[in-house]
Structure 1
Amino acid sequence: MLKKYPFFLPLAGCRGQCVYCDQRAITGITEVPSPEFVRRELKKLTEPREICYFGGSFCRFPKEKIKEYLDAAVQASPKGSTLRFSTYPGDLRDDELRALVKGYPISRVELGIPTLDPAVLAACRREADPQKVFEDIALLMEDSLPVGVQMMIGLPGQSRESSLNDLERLATLKGAQRWELRLYPCLVIAGTELEALWRGGKYIPLTVEEAALWGGEFIERALVLGFVPIRIGLQETEALAARAVAGPHHPALGELILAEAEARRLAKNSPKGPWRVPRRGLSMFTGHGRFGIKRLAIHAAMTENEAEERIIFER
């Protein structure tokens, strides 16, 4: 697997702005890098990498600009490099654009699908028609373009049941394919419309524990359905720490969610243990106030000491 080499294009191509979004604040990047900048940076590489265009909606650039970015990635990077980009599901509806993209070594098309619930989409001011989303994804699958999805929890008006239903619907569409998954619990970022809703008492963000439990159930189910989680929670940056004013902002939120997912899985597979766990997962159980052990004890209906005694950490 190639190491990723990301370029962030904050809000580039976005036709509107979702109530929760400020990609410049999240990444600390305020300017969209040009294709010429991409070329200069990639010429410094000595080994193949997975060149990534994240942020905004890549395929909403004019076709000429898309081609410039794709050419820059392919022509300036070492031989054997691949490309990954994020975009809205409907942005590749155009046959000519899909044909253009297919001419490049695309490793993954990541689709922003925070929710498929019409009421939640409306509350987020998110431009999307769930039925068209399925049709658009089907086109990508027919053209053998590898798909990944970026989803969210804790959105305005969103319930745990709604998010799990979204996951089930996408699983039905993907079939046996193993789609990559990024899961982002919703944060309140300073300056966004969501901040105004929160300060006005019209939105209640998740706590860290609520996000861990909801996210854990989501990830556990995603694994069963054949998704491959590759990222949970936003990348921690100084910019994010300075601008996250409410919600489940925690540097180890991803590990807390994984701990809940693993606790649920273990208790389901062996209700009373013993449980064999790779030693690399030790911190999930013993770190963060023994969060994983506490959650396993709850799911297995026993004391924390009993749960801990029945965990076998293997090398």
Structure 2
Amino acid sequence: MPSPTSARAHIIPVFLPMAGCSYRCIYCDQHTITTTQQPLLPAALAEHVAAYTATRKSAPDEPLPLVAFYGGSFAQLPLCVIEQWIHAVAALEYSGKIGGFVCSARPDGWRAEIFELLRRATCQRVELGIQSTNQDILQRAGRPPITNSEIRTLLNTLREHGISPGVQLMFGLPGENRHTWQATMQDTLAWQPDTLRLYPALVLAGTLLEAMWRQGNYQPPTLTEAVNACADAFVQCTEYGITVLRAGLQDSTTLRQQIVAGPWHPAFGELIRSECYRRQLLALPPTVTAIAVHPHEISALIGHGKSNSDLLTGLRVERDQTVVRGKILWRQELSRTTL
């Protein structure tokens, strides 16, 4: 069974750009996104893990790190390649270096034997790149059709094999609007995945999406639109107990050089969390004089660039470990600690 702490374990990424992908989506350039031109081989995994762990000091109560296979579709790799990676992971797990692995994969093209293989290999989590549940959007993005029922079955099958199911969504693909995004979110909430990653659609050089944009056939969302849409998703996930692992792509010089259009910001996730707190602050009754948040959420509460400072005037804040992260607790009798 996957560890309940796997969502907070340190991740050691192993990028396999486009590996296992039988087609290329119009927005995708994994070599740029992962800044990886030459993928790692299974024989080099131990050295890769050692290099990562040597530069990082773990907290006493922190779970063992997890190897994460990203950038491709792990479940669609040739069976012999999957087994090579699993053997490399097993050796590190046996020696106490890692606690297992997670991976990302497409929702289509799953073979029945893969589920049992991942279960026996102590795979902690599989994140499915769904992007959208709107069939027109998927078709425009160059992805094969897949029904909500098929996705639900896949997620449930992962659970039955003791693997935590995660979902990855992308806002702003061609054909996207408020209604299609909300429909995708409602579908996602109904599936009840354990985790979610949110990405805005970015126009990268050399992709088919760039060609559409230059021809005037695609207009990416603005940064404000993307932040608001992803904040909507973040709020809903918080209410449903779904952990948002990340919002936005990891910043890198290579990525910045390849972005030609779209709602890019190096602190995209922080903008979303700031917006979520701003909405809660605006909804406070006027008589409230004290609020409580989790101690690790103070920065997000204040907001990126202190964007929420105007709404905190006159309020006092209590740091409370018991408050759910992402939420504000308020009651007039709260003890008051000045920020």
TM-score (normalizing by structure 2): 0.81
Matched, 1:144 2:162: yes
Give yes or no for contact 2:274–2:302 (8 Å, CA) kept in 1.
no
CA distance in 2, matches of 1:125, 1:271: 47
RMSD across aligned C-alpha pairs, in angstroms? 2.2
Deviation at 1:57, TM superposition (A): 0.3
* Residues 189 and 245 in structure 1, CA contact (< 8 A), matched pair in contact too: yes
Q: CA deviation at 1:274?
A: 4.0
Deviation string 1:227-264 (CA, Å, 9 cap, x unpaired) is 11110100001111111111111111111111112222
Cross-structure match for 2:10: 3
Is this contact kept in 2: 1:217–1:264, CA < 8 A?
no
User: Which structure has greater helix proportion?
Assistant: 1
Within the alignment, does 1:54 sit opposite 2:61 as a pair?
no
Q: Deviation of residue 90 (structure 1)? A: 3.1
- TM-score, scaled to structure 1: 0.87
Aligned with 1:258 (options 259, 273, 285): 273
Amino acid at match of 2:68: C
| Secondary structure in structure 1 of the residue aligned to 2:307 | helix
Contact 1:38 1:72 in 2 (8 A): yes
Aligned to 1:300: none
Name the SS of the counterpart of 2:143 in structure 1.
coil
- SS of corresponding position for 1:52: strand
The DSSP-based 3-state class of the residue aligned with 2:85 is helix
In the alignment, structure 1 residue 170 sits paired with structure 2 residue 188:
yes
Matched residues in 1 for 2:48 and 2:169: separation?
Answer: 30
- Quick one: distance in 1 between partners of 2:190 and 2:41? 38
In the other structure, the counterpart of 1:34 is 41
Q: Taking structure 1 as reference, are residues 281 and 40 closer, same or farther at Cα in structure 2, changes over 3 Å only?
A: closer
Question: SS at the partner of 1:7?
Answer: strand
Match of 2:173 in 1: 155
Local SS of the residue matching 2:14 = strand
Gaps of 5+ in 1: 294-303
1:72 aligned to which of 83, 88, 92: 88
Summarize deviations over 1:28-48 as a string: whole Å, max 9, x none: 111221111213323565784
Q: Aligned pairs, how many?
A: 298
Aligned mate of 1:227, from 235, 242, 247 = 242
Task: Verify the 8 A CA contact 2:274 2:304 in the aligned structure 1.
Answer: no
Displacement of 1:161: 2.3
Partner residue of 2:138 out of 121, 146, 150: 121
Asked whether the equivalents of residues 26 and 243 of structure 1 are also in contact (C-alpha less than 8 Å), the reply is: no
Greater CA deviation, 73-82 or 8-17? 73-82
Q: Give distance in 2, aligned partners of 1:263 and 1:2.
A: 29
Name which of 99, 102, 106 aligns with 1:81: 99
Residue 104 of structure 1 aligns with which residue?
121
Q: Which amino acid aligns with 1:30?
A: Q
For residue 197 of structure 1, what is the aligned residue in structure 2? 212
Residue type of the alignment partner of 1:313: V
Deviation at 1:220, TM superposition (A): 0.9
Which residue matches 1:16? 23
Structure 1 residues 191 and 74: alpha-carbon distance in aligned structure 2, compared to 1, 3 A threshold? same
Distance in 1, Cα, partners of 2:266 & 2:146: 33
Whole-angstrom distance in 2 between the partners of 1:145 and 1:126: 25
- In the aligned structure 2, how far is the partner of 1:189 from the partner of 1:160? 23
Identity among equivalent pairs (%): 31
**Aligned residue in 2 for 1:296:** none
Compare 45-54 and 119-128 and name the one that shifted more: 45-54
Residue 239 (structure 1) aligns with: 254
Q: How far does the alpha carbon of each residue in 1:171-219 deviate from its partner, in whole angstroms, 9 at most, with x for none?
A: 2222xxx611110011111111111111111111122222111211121
Deviation at 1:133, TM superposition (A): 2.1
1:272-305 Cα shifts (integer Å, max 9, x gaps): 3446253644443545454335xxxxxxxxxx4x
Partners of 1:211 and 1:170 in 2: CA distance = 18
SS at match of 1:109: strand
- Letter of the structure 1 residue corresponding to residue 92 of structure 2: A
